[in-house]
Structure 1
């Protein structure tokens, strides 16, 4: 590598047309660029140097097609010589001598290429160190460029430029980074439209009026002109490229003054109507559809017809004609029959000397009205239509001096029609904004050229806002006034025409989607065609300055609120926040919304992805200060919820993170590199499911058990609680929003200790069963389905019943129940009858002190079995059912000390039922995995809080694996243990409740499709509602060793061995290597494969550089003037070749 070349930037392209990627490098120190041609082995040959000039110091480069010859060209920002250099390529790896474009006193930094004015020719934008810090040079398409157009954003050190369509208007915009003001600027591209010099076409003598339409059905615009002195009209057929054929003339009446078109005989061909001033007639010429017309047919009008319009005035779908008669101050309405013939006129009075007419629905009654300009009394008359071809008397509005041409349109985007009129003596146009009820606001005036004689309306700059074009008779020009969309207009821009221009129409005559202009030049006997074109411009500069001390470290771009507009997220290292600014449809951005990452967190690196698989983008942030990763879950509307961090803290400081799906499961993982370590970690996002204490509800005295159900058939969950000291149950009916009605109370037996629910009388309404431990009974309360219940019916049990479970033990489709009789060491079976009553109990022996009972099918014979927790025997008993209400003798399994509660579920996802027991004195839960044949494995234990007393089961984090919630009476908590799906559980997460929680039930109380908890608290006489919400966190899955003292700095993902599994490549700065870990698709990877690079590799990327469909690697080396590329070949180890950047 040569001395002092100081390569600043490298980019790629195919410069010799061999379909191989080549490289171009800007060598700041040696004032040249180097071209390295790529081979099909991923190797680059020695570079060829091209001088950029003495002391030029090339700072950045861009590549593109600058002269449309299919060969790539190069644009260079020469910082030292303050110019832009262009090297046009020959397509063989060589280039023409540099052509330069001066930037004056500005030194360029960054350069970008794009088509900013949509002329299909490449332009470029440059950032500089000048007060005019942005320059745009428009290309001519032949490799040459116009002089720079300069813009200022207030910065004098704009070091980076990015190009893209930020506001979805199909125009390129620019983003600039300013390092002197700690800000970014956004400059939106817009269409700055102009009109080319006129091209003229001969007409008859003294043309005065125009209309446009497709007269020969070739989908191209044609023109018809009224010629006053030779009593003809001229038809000019268009070629669709902005040019027209020679005229064809047709005779009219005397002094044709105005022309209009429409399909007057319903044959789908355009016809023509002409107002003839001197003989007080109109001429109708029916079209043949081939560009030719029949001879005229005349109809009488009033005196001096000066303007004619065609429309359906009586809502019969047939076109009619309305004519302004200036000498007798009337308008004539001539109703059409739809066959090219017309009824006699009917006249309506206007103001003095009416000149022109426009038609529209001014009062939103779906009936056409018309507005007439009155030159002698300086007014506009509005005549409202009745929808049958007749009209109300006029209402006048004052305008400017000698109003003549008139037009209608919605100029303030309120969906109501407005009126504009050109005032010949004022040299203005008046705008009357309509209210939609046939009334109008007072006029607003805007200047035009001298003596405006005609106006037209159209959107000339494609911004969806109506603009105005006015013809100036004495100025020999047309004035274009661009609309702001609020009823006001920019100052006029003038374009030259012929002599004495009298009339103007608009249309797209060259099919480029831009409206063009045609003007009738009365004295010249011709028309002028002015074609619209887009010159492109930048405007609406937006600057985002960050808080002092924000120390911006990382920026990422994505559409976070699903509006198809890009938004921006920042990591603010100094203020311990991330900031979001949301993009708007006009290219602006909202105020920054900041989300805290915690005190002294120092957010440093950002990764974006959908980590919770809800199709909304989330943000992961690596914090150097707290050595953690924070996860912000997006809601798809631009807002984010930070997730609780349950200790994903690291021993080392995170340096960089990236997101990718490493095991093809559709979920993104995080890869993290640390500062000063020799390893990278793979972290998996998972839902830890958190709970919030929502509300506490008072119950009776000593609530001892809680259950849930829909007791009033409103599809919303309700709660039932048994109150031990009050001998009753409390019913709390739910509203579906986590709130409940005041409790209703129903009496039970003495010492009510446990509650369960079921439909005991098959009326599809839930009933309640309660175990009463002090009087040795169970109470049955049959429900009415409206939240109320019958008085209890009691059944005798054994001594001290403590628990009850419900099921159909004899397969008669009627619910039965089983009771644990604590002092009798038995369980009692009660078989149900169809009316909701039960027979006497049948008992089965258990070990001492059965405390809790549950039912399910443990041996897969489709018959319910029973499991019992025996407190003083430290066992569970399993009694297999015969399906007739009787049971086999028990089999016992050891548990922890003092098993207090038992539940059933499939905790290892083998589709076989397992048992979980809460062990009061051991402060554990025991898991007994079932074999599906009524036998169980030895217990596995997991820690809980103090004195676990009750268990609830559900998939709390929606990962498809059962979790458990345990009430801990000894420390007033509920602990949640998330299942791993193999029978083991994560460490418990504790939530504080009230005093002595002793029962828990699970349900969705706020209809968010997530499980919530309700807990009864014995000593405080309350139930506490804990609402579940998703909470994603990261846990370490795999650690990959990158080598002793390797110091990984950067990584990239790719499939390097074509096995459809994602692999990882890491750049190790201190060992001058990259290492590759080949993935197995299950978070495991092969041992590293190491490749030597040059000194201090700090960045790595991947791509197919030799077009062999195999990924290759490119590495940036910090402390040498070489980069490194490795071409991946189908062999055990890739070859590698250092690339010399400059001699």
Structure 2
């Protein structure tokens, strides 16, 4: 009988929501309705509906009285959208600050009536901020949650007729400063639970005069530079010392989390009682007093349970809580997200690349305008220099866009995607505005006063001592500029890149101050319209103009989750595979209607519904321009997918237990405008069988204060550590194998004098078991080294690259080629002119790039091209221009060669800075750096510049404060941040700029240059190679398929304070297909997951199983060793050369197959990629049955060896 009644109620519900339209069709679990013709004009975007038409005239007013009382009121209010009376039309609830809230009943045709009083939802005499409609008691009508700054927070239960009964939500706080609400079924009991973010009812600046809350009156030093906050102020502040700077942070209020008891009654959950644990699995013991602005429930890890992302303002970090499946939560792994926005306002989620994983976007406050960027310098606390710190999560003052790597860790790609700046932002929303299958981004913007304006802040700091009253102090706020702004829209171009749409697709035609935003189909034409709560202007309603084909889906859940919150919809058959997750609330101060709209085409489509309880409903033959209402009925269990992933590599780092040491150093003491640190560029690494026992040993260079370390390989099962040199007084940079005149094995190491006294030189040192030799090399920092027999006399000559001249960046540095004369290295005077002032050399490799049998030299330059020096009988000629490579100037880091298209010619792979950065280069508008002593103080000044479209001219990269501190005349001449911001580079530096030397770069991508015999064809490496800085490039066949692959070491944290660290990589395996095409292998498939600043890396088969293994170093952090466990074993080749070149460096080998084809050409090299050396023992992957091996020896002679078995040792004919 109970089941019969339930079924009867369900039928009545469907009938009540069904319009009497003859085109409706009823199926087992759905009903369909043909959509009316689109109401809009047809052009993608929105049109604002005027109050005279809609009847909506209410505005969220705030004036001087409210501002002087509480500045937090300027953060505005939101809207809630939903059909509260079951008539099929979406109604609007508007929260307000000064006046009571308003409920507008939708009467159709864009007309609305005020139904506030009869509904009983006015919320008089409170500062209402947020509002959400949701069915919290499971009776199939919408209830209402209203939050307020200073409370109370209310739950309004819908009596079934659009009339509400109010109850106050329980709280452990007195008058909380609540903001936004989000709901989901977190504990699997079928009803909706609630999370409310809290800000703070009243900031201390609005509570007490400045002298009372001064540092002197609130802080006390208890020991040397250790401070505490004195009572009673310790209830509001905490303190910290960073980089010897005393900081004080105001604390906010604890958020409120509630579980639904099944009756629509919420019971408060204290997160310190064990339901929430930190990253280490320990219960949260202290309340988290974060500045909460909004939270959203989403299933971040695809386990069907709702997780929580919480946006927190200021220094309080964003929180990401992963649901354990039972309504308890643990903090997301520290390494899953590497950095966040500083002032996180709002978050929204979308599957940007249609891989079935959730990506997300967070708004902050960076401007798109150069002028505002330079005047709004912000108040973010300094990020401490943390050498080797990997688990921290710094915050940056711009939007962030997080791409899911597929294993529920994220790369932050906002600067790659061009979404990093959307002005002073509040709400954000993904929506496919142009219905092309890709979700776009909408952002509300504006603030009453630009309190980030640096000129105003300086004026107020100067005026503060003269202020005589608290009221006068508060009124200083009115001296800031106002900040009405245009709302922003980013159009998704479908390649993970976005473009700013002019006039915000109609949302930004006029400047205003917009806060809460929500979407719903207000006119029932099957697309989503927008409602925005604006400050001191009427509520804004925007009609969606699109007339593109669409598919609308509304879900009806069972039990008490009647709107199927947490369900996912995957639609196929349209222009793209599209997915959505149904949410309740989770907008900035707002909540929209859960209707989902998808782009469609001419073909039938299918929809898969993954309900919150894990069951699945699949519908086929869905028609375009229809609304489908789908209920949860007899859903099937999803098919179990075997996710047993076997990555190529296994982490065996425990075999080494090595950590690179790096002493801290102030790189900016002499040249304060350096773009990056040069004291943290190492280490390099090398494999070689130093003890000649048949297995490869390891050598790793060290930083100043550290050691050069040797790890002796014990039969491929373990390593025994030794220190070659301890307590280094300079950074050791590159490290290579070395052999003396008598064939004694050792190493050669270069060092950096960057941190040394001005008269110290960089050193070259050779070490062997018999002796040690050191000799001065360069009067500036030595970087990469490479060895080859350049003069054909049978021994190895040595190139040492000049990396940078201390205190003279970016002046081109000189490099040196040392010729080996009877075991003694002498500078080569014949080639000295070629290497004089050649540039800032970061990477090098000797390689027979012109295929004439002798080693040419390839260099990676910062502020220059990949440079080729062609060897002609020991004389080098720069042929870069004739090869076309001079067109690609960059911040190149590493360089290696490999035959990627298997034509027998060696191609070039070069690593670069990456495009996920504030720096943007192009051939038309290259980035420039000028260098001169502009202020005549005997210090070389650095001026970085880029082209600005608004100025149509070059503008400075660095801010007014940094530039004027380095060159005080700039402050004397420009006086203010605004004057500086409005000036082009020429207007700031005058005639001196045009006679100053400069360098430029136009390329940021890491690239493979395919050798065509006459020049090179560039192939930009896949997206994952471009989203962070790449350092090392290594070439080997990692998966054993007979084609050359690439490994990139990634990330760079040692940047200046105005730049984000580059941390979106974790080491990248790129698989080649033998035709010059590449695909990236994500970390959970490759097995490579290195989260720190990776530097040198090297390949070897350390356990002699025929698979290539990998060693990756990190600056100041653990060296990672990866054993190849899943690739196909290949051919192991060892060439024995003469005693002066026993490893036969410079030889080339190539497999011949029984079918007549040839494999890729492989060259044995000493010194390649970034400061490193691979094992000279080669592992060649096999694509089919191998027949023979072609060998070209270093002297140019050639032999062919038949192949039998999987190991080959070949001895040079003269041995």
Q: How high is the TM-score relative to the length of structure 1?
A: 0.30
The structure where strand makes up a greater share of residues is: 1
Instruction: Choose between structure 1 and 2: higher helix proportion.
Output: 2
Larger relative contact order (C-alpha < 8 A, sep ≥ 6)?
2
TM-score (norm 2): 0.29
Decide which structure has the larger Cα Rg and report it. Answer: 1
